[in-house]
Amino acid sequence: MIFILLGALLLASRFCHTGILWEGDTLPLAAAGQMAAGKVLYREIWFDKPPLTALVYVLCGGKAGGALRLGGAFYGLGACWLVFAFARRLWTEREGLLAAGLIAFFLTFDFPSAAMPVASDLLMLAPHLAAVWMAFERRPFWSGVLAGVAFWINPKGAFVLAACVLWDPAGARWMGAGFASVSAAAAAWLLGAGALGAYWEQVWRWGRLYAGSTFIESPLANGVVRTVNWLAFHGGLAVAAAFTLREERKRAWIVWLLLSFAGVAMGLRFFPRYYFLLLPPLALLAARGFRGRAWLALLLLVPLVRFAPSYWAAVSDPHWRDIRMDRESRAAAAAVKQLAKPGDTLFVWGYRPEIYTYTGLPAATRYLDSQPLTGVPADRHLTQSEPVETEGPRQRRMALSHTQPTFIVDGLAAYNPQLAIGNYADLANWLADYHEIARVGQTTIYRRQPLLAAPAGGAFPEKR
């Protein structure tokens, strides 16, 4: 009965968001849509996340709507079952049910942009739990396999492997074998697809540039503020976990928490979705700490009161500020679809990959957003224009200039004119073949001018 109730909570909350795509949904969903059309990840689709993130989105056909949110609800319920089974083995069934309830609660009452998309940080939650559980059960090979799965979802899966070794040091070699087997299989698949080199460039080289630069003026102070805020919203977890740590004082728990926080702190950005790495150890510890302390449930009112109204806004408020850009993308996509004909293609400038999903048009280039073309990561490109690399983007723009998309949708220039597509001299001749056909909010739509038929004399008129 409890799992039925948890499933109903997860399902209802996610179905409030069937008409919305959050930032974490957009790039994996767009990549999955292109993969469903036959394109090869990395070789023909620029994607800066490990491959399992995109492959999971292929399961819903690379489309927005009910199937996407249904998958998210089932994924959350699966994570609840894993934490239930782990906590039951650690203590009793009561702690297992409490842990499952806490996971479901905090996968619901959190920032929607973090909790709704099953993007890489949230997608790593289930293999994280399962890997450490297998280490606790002294099944090191499968622990390593699951840590490998986490790693091929998110590079922070390396911290999951470290946590597994912590729980079962004697099984480290078998864990390494399991981890290596998954990595070898993934590398062989990429090599067979002719995408291994592109994977290295996009995930690791670009990822290193991204992680090595921060747009925040005082990153450490920002980290302290965001961590304190997160702990305030998750006070029920933190306080209950503290009671358990005081009673049990096992080094493995403390080091697991420290490893998880190290993953949160990588890159010094401290986005809300990064804190999902802390959720497995805290939920397990808190389930034990709630025993005999029912008053701790009062602390759950803080996230409940803060985030419950967002579900009402999602289903009833078309002017909700948080989804303004998503509404604009939908409207721009509708305008493109009205003009599109079979065989037409699309290129989107800016970080608006959801427009590929909403139009259903094939991408004309391998680039689903403009980050690799400007060198400015999406976490700052609406307000800043300093690139993290220059030569690579120049070469990629040269490749872009040899493509001929039917439509160009510019969702960046109005927000940051310095990164406007027209500001790049090496794209000027290419862009001259397009004319503006519509503006939707802050988004501009261009269409390629049809080639003119040659006059009787055989010479083409001069291009205007």
pLDDT for residue 293: 87
Per-residue pLDDT of the chain (464 residues; tens, 9 = 90+): 999 999 999 999 999 999 999 999 999 999 999 999 999 999 999 999 999 999 999 988 889 999 999 999 999 999 999 999 999 999 999 999 999 999 999 999 999 999 999 999 999 999 999 999 999 999 999 999 999 999 999 999 999 999 999 999 999 999 999 999 999 999 999 999 999 999 999 999 998 998 888 877 888 899 999 999 999 999 999 999 999 998 876 889 999 999 999 999 988 889 999 999 999 999 999 999 998 888 999 999 999 999 999 999 999 998 899 999 999 999 999 999 999 999 999 999 999 999 999 999 999 999 999 999 999 999 899 999 999 999 999 999 999 999 999 999 999 999 999 999 999 999 999 999 999 999 999 999 999 987 544 444 444 444 33
Q: Please report the sign of the dihedral spanned by the C-alpha atoms of residue 235, residue 238, residue 243, residue 246.
A: negative
Distance CA 443, CA 329 (A): 8
Beta strand pairing call for 346-349 and 407-410: parallel
pTM of the model: 0.92
Q: What angle do CA 312, 315, 321 make, to 5 degrees?
A: 80
pLDDT for residue 449: 86
pLDDT for residue 104: 98
C-alpha dihedral, 263 to 264 to 268 to 269, nearest 10°: 140
pLDDT for residue 455: 47
Instruction: Spell out a b/e string for 104-119, using b for 16 or more CB atoms within 10 Å of the CB, else e.
Output: bbbbbbbbbbbbbbbb
- Strand spans (E) along 171-308: none
pLDDT for residue 451: 55
Q: Please report the sign of the dihedral spanned by the C-alpha atoms of residue 30, residue 382, residue 198, residue 181.
A: negative
Both structure tokens of 127: 């293999």
